[in-house]
Amino acid sequence: MNELPVPTFDNIRAAHDRIRPRIHRTPVLTCATLDRMSGARLWFKCENLQKVGAFKIRGATNAVFSLSGEAARPGVATHSSGNHGAALAQAAAWRGIKAIVVMPRNAPQAKRRAVEGYGAEIVFCDPGVEARTEMLRQVVERTAMTVVHPYNDPHVIAGQGTAALELLEDVANLDAVIAPVGGGGLISGTAIACAGASPRTAVYAAEPANADDAQRSFRAGRLITTGNSDTIADGLRTSLGSLTFEIIGAGVTDILTATEDQIVAAMRLIWERMKIIVEPSCAVPLAVILAHPDVFRDRSVGVILTGGNVDLEALPWAR
Amino acid sequence: MNELPVPTFDNIRAAHDRIRPRIHRTPVLTCATLDRMSGARLWFKCENLQKVGAFKIRGATNAVFSLSGEAARPGVATHSSGNHGAALAQAAAWRGIKAIVVMPRNAPQAKRRAVEGYGAEIVFCDPGVEARTEMLRQVVERTAMTVVHPYNDPHVIAGQGTAALELLEDVANLDAVIAPVGGGGLISGTAIACAGASPRTAVYAAEPANADDAQRSFRAGRLITTGNSDTIADGLRTSLGSLTFEIIGAGVTDILTATEDQIVAAMRLIWERMKIIVEPSCAVPLAVILAHPDVFRDRSVGVILTGGNVDLEALPWAR
C-alpha cells in the first residue's frame, strides 16, 4: 500500500516555477514522414535536448530545491545506474550541496563519467536491488544525506510532470499524450499534468514487451514487480513503485508495448528522419504508436522524448 | 565579373513570407558545456532539424515559388550530389512540377534515395565539373526546364538568408554570426540579413583548411576556384561563384579555417553534448570557434548549424 502523498496539479505548477530558471524550455518538433507513417499528427517534446540529456533533471531539481536548508545541508544521495544519478548530481551542484550516487560496479563508463563530471561522488556496489539498497542505507547512516528516490517520490513526480505541462502549453487540443514507463515517475507526472491542464487528453504509457511489469500490474490491478526485464531500453527495466502504481491506475488510459525490433527500428527512424539523438528507452513511445496504428490514427498525439544519452561507439544497428 | 543582381534585405524578407508556410521554424539551442569550452555565449540555429535535413530547402523553395507560371511549367533542373538536389526535389513536389537532378554516378546511395524519395528524376553523369555541366546543358535543351543553381542565384541566396533572419529575430544583440562557406549561398544570405537586421553583428565564414579557396579568394580580392578540396566536409568542397564572391567581399568580416581533426572533434561534441545529428560540414563553425578562441571569447555568437544528413553506418569515429 502506498503511504506517500499523491502530487497535485498545483504541485506541478509550483515545480515549474521552481525549476524553470535552470532547465531548458525544450522544443516541440514535428516530422512529416513520421506523421505519414503513423497516420497521426505527432508532436515530439524533446527532453533528449534537456540539460543532462534527459527529463530526469526536472524531478531531481524540483526535489533538491524543495528541501529545507536543514535537510539539504548534509547533501543528497540516490542509487541509479542511469540518468537520475547524473541529474541529481547536477541539481546538487546547482544548490551547492554534496551528492552521492550508488552505482553497480558494472555500470557503463559513460554513465560514471557523467555523474563525476557534475561533481558527485560515486559509491560502487554489487549489481542487484538488494546490494544497492543496502549500500544506500549505509551511505545515509554515515552521512545523514537525504535520499532522492528516482521515481517513487512526490517531488520527483511533480518535477517530471512539468514536461507535459510545457507540451500542453505549446500545443493545443492534444487527443493523447504518450510517454515511456519504467519506474513510472514521468508517466505519473504526465497523467497529473494532463488531468489538470487538459482533461480530454488521453494518457498512454509505452513499455517494452520484454519488461512489461507495468502493463501486467495495470491490468491485474495489483503491483507486480517480478518478471523479465531483458530489454535494450535500459531506462525502463525498473518496476513501478507504490506511489507511481497508484497514480497510473487512476490516471492512465492504457499501457501498450512494443518488441525489441520495433524499438530499435523506431530509434533509427528518429535519428534518420528527425536528426536528433535518442536512447533506446526514448524510442519506445514511437515504437508503440507504429505497432498500434488503430489506437492513434487520425489523432493529435504528444510524444515525450525522454533522453539522448547513448554510447556513440555502440549503436544497435552497427555492423 | 558578376552580372547577377545582388539580393537585398527586402528580398530576404519577401523570401521569408514566401517559404514560411512550408518550412520549419527551427529551434535555437544553447549548450552550457560548449559555452564553457569556447568562453563565448553560443546560440545554435538548428537547420539540421529543417525539412530535408538542411537549410538548402529555404533557397530551393524560394527559387521554385518565385518562378512565373510559364517558367515553372516545364519543371526545374540542377546538378547536385548533396542537399540542394533533395531540397529542389521537395520544393518542386510542393509546387507540383517536375524536377531533374544531375548527379555523378558515384554519388552515395543515401543521397540518391533522398532525391528519388521526394519524387525527382535523377540523370547520372561522369564525376567532375565539366561532365555535370554538359549533362545539365543537355537536360535543359531537351526539357526546357529552368535551372536552379545551388548557390550562385539571387533567389537561392535570399532564401538561405532567412535562417539568419529568424536567428536575429529570436536572439537580440548578437556580436557575431558564423556559418560555413562552400559555394557561398548561405554566408551571402547571412551577410545581407545581418547588414539589414543587425548592422553591428560581425559575420564570419567557416571553412575547412583543406578546402580554403574562399579564404584565399577573400584575402586576394579575386575569385580563386582552384586548389585542394580533400575534406570530410563534403558540402563545402565547392568553390565560390561570381555573385557569392562579390557579396562575401562586401559583407563578411573574415573567413577562418579549421583542420580535419578539429572538424571531426567538433562534430562529435555536438552529437554528444547537444544530442543532435550534424553532418561534418555543419560542424565546421564550432571547430573554427574552438580553434580561434581569441576571436570569439566573451562574445555572443549565433552559429548556423546547416545540416544533419549523414550515413549512420559510417561515422567518422567508428572503430
Q: Of A259-268, B4-13, B98-107, which range is least confident?
A: B98-107
Q: For B120, which DSSP code?
A: P
Taking an 8 Å cut-off on Cβ atoms, the answer to whether B315 and A312 are in contact is yes
CA A230, CA B212: separation in Å to the nearest integer? Answer: 51
Strands B300-305 and B176-180: parallel
Q: What is the structure's pLDDT at A159?
A: 98
ipTM: 0.94
B299: left (phi over 0), alpha (psi -120 to 50) or beta: beta
Q: For B84-127, write each residue's pLDDT tens digit.
A: 999 999 999 999 999 999 998 888 787 888 899 999 999 999 98
Domain limits, chain A: 9-54+154-305, 57-147
Q: Domain A9-54+154-305 carries which CATH code?
A: 3.40.50.1100
- Integer angstrom CA distances of residue B311 from A312, B98, B101, B277, B286: 14, 27, 20, 11, 21
Of A29, A272, A277, the CB nearest to B275: A277
Q: What is the structure's pLDDT at B232?
A: 94
- Integer angstrom CA distances of residue B6 from A206, B12, B153: 53, 11, 9
Indicate the fold that domain B9-55+153-305 takes in CATH.
Answer: Rossmann fold (3.40.50)
Taking an 8 Å cut-off on Cβ atoms, the answer to whether B30 and A53 are in contact is no
Q: What is the structure's pLDDT at A311?
A: 87
| Cα A57–chain centre separation | 10
Considering only residues 240 to 299 of chain A, which have any Cβ-Cβ distance to chain B shorter than 8 Å?
268, 271-272, 274-278
Exposed, middle or buried by CB within 10 Å (0-12, 13-18, 19+), for B200? exposed
Q: What is the structure's pLDDT at B198?
A: 98
Exposed, middle or buried by CB within 10 Å (0-12, 13-18, 19+), for B2? middle
Q: Name the minimum distance, in Å, from the CA of B248 to any CA of chain A.
A: 30
Taking an 8 Å cut-off on Cβ atoms, the answer to whether B275 and A312 are in contact is no
Of B132, B133, B122, B121, the C-alpha closest to B97 is B121
Q: What is the structure's pLDDT at A319?
A: 53
Name the average pLDDT for chain A.
96
Taking an 8 Å cut-off on Cβ atoms, the answer to whether A277 and B268 are in contact is no
Rounded percentage of chain B residues whose pLDDT exceeds 90: 88
Q: Which of B36, B275, B310 to mutate to test the interface with A (most CBs of A within 10 A)?
A: B275
CA A240, CA A37: separation in Å to the nearest integer? Answer: 31
Q: Name the minimum distance, in Å, from the CA of A262 to any CA of chain B.
A: 18
B29 contacts in chain A (CB < 8 Å): 24, 27, 49
The dihedral through the CA atoms of A51, A54, A58, A60 has a sign that is: negative
Residues 6+ apart with CB under 8 A from B294: none
Taking an 8 Å cut-off on Cβ atoms, the answer to whether B29 and A49 are in contact is yes
Taking an 8 Å cut-off on Cβ atoms, the answer to whether B312 and A272 are in contact is yes
Exposed, middle or buried by CB within 10 Å (0-12, 13-18, 19+), for B229? middle
In degrees rounded to 5, what are phi and psi of residue B294?
Answer: -65, -25
- Using an 8 Å Cβ cutoff, are A232 and A260 in contact? yes
Q: For A93-124, write each residue's pLDDT tens digit.
A: 999 999 999 998 888 787 888 899 999 999 99
C-alpha cell at A52: 543532462
A53 contacts in chain B (CB < 8 Å): 275
A319 contacts in chain B (CB < 8 Å): 313
Considering only residues 22 to 61 of chain B, which have any Cβ-Cβ distance to chain A shorter than 8 Å?
24, 27, 29-30, 32, 48-49, 51, 53
Of A110, A72, A113, A112, the C-alpha closest to A91 is A72
Taking an 8 Å cut-off on Cβ atoms, the answer to whether A315 and B312 are in contact is yes
Q: What is the structure's pLDDT at A81?
A: 77
Q: For B39-71, write each residue's pLDDT tens digit.
A: 999 999 999 999 999 999 999 999 999 999 999
- The arithmetic mean of pLDDT across residues B297-306, rounded, is 98
Residues 6+ apart with CB under 8 A from A247: A6, A157, A184, A188, A191, A192
Is the pLDDT confidence value at B319 over 70? no
Of B29, B48, B318, the CB nearest to A275: B48
Of B129, B157, B123, the C-alpha closest to B246 is B157
Query: Are the folds of A9-54+154-305 and A57-147 the same?
Result: yes
- CATH match for B57-147 among 3.30.70.260, 3.40.50.300, 3.40.50.1100, 3.90.440.10: 3.40.50.1100
Q: Looking at the whole model, is its pTM more than 0.90? A: yes
The nearest alpha carbon in chain B to A317 belongs to: B313
Q: What is the structure's pLDDT at A316?
A: 86
* Residue corresponding to grid cell 530526469: A56
A317 contacts in chain B (CB < 8 Å): 312-313
Q: Does A313 touch chain B (CB under 8 A)?
A: yes
Rounded percentage of chain B residues whose pLDDT exceeds 70: 100
Taking an 8 Å cut-off on Cβ atoms, the answer to whether B275 and A276 are in contact is yes
Taking an 8 Å cut-off on Cβ atoms, the answer to whether A51 and B29 are in contact is no
Q: Which of A34, A43, A275 to mutate to test the interface with B (most CBs of B within 10 A)?
A: A275
Q: For A164-178, write each residue's pLDDT tens digit.
A: 999 999 999 999 999
Of B165, B147, B148, the C-alpha closest to B156 is B148
Q: Of A234-238, B261-265, B285-289, which range is least confident?
A: A234-238
Q: For A54-94, write each residue's pLDDT tens digit.
A: 999 999 999 999 999 999 999 999 998 789 999 999 999 99
Question: CB contacts < 8 Å between A and B, how many?
Answer: 54
Q: Of A128-132, A157-161, A207-211, B144-148, which range is least confident?
A: A128-132
CA atoms within 13 A on the CB side of B5: 8
Q: Name the minimum distance, in Å, from the CA of B308 to any CA of chain A.
A: 6
Q: Name the minimum distance, in Å, from the CA of A273 to any CA of chain B.
A: 8
CA atoms within 13 A on the CB side of B181: 38
B24 contacts in chain A (CB < 8 Å): 29-30
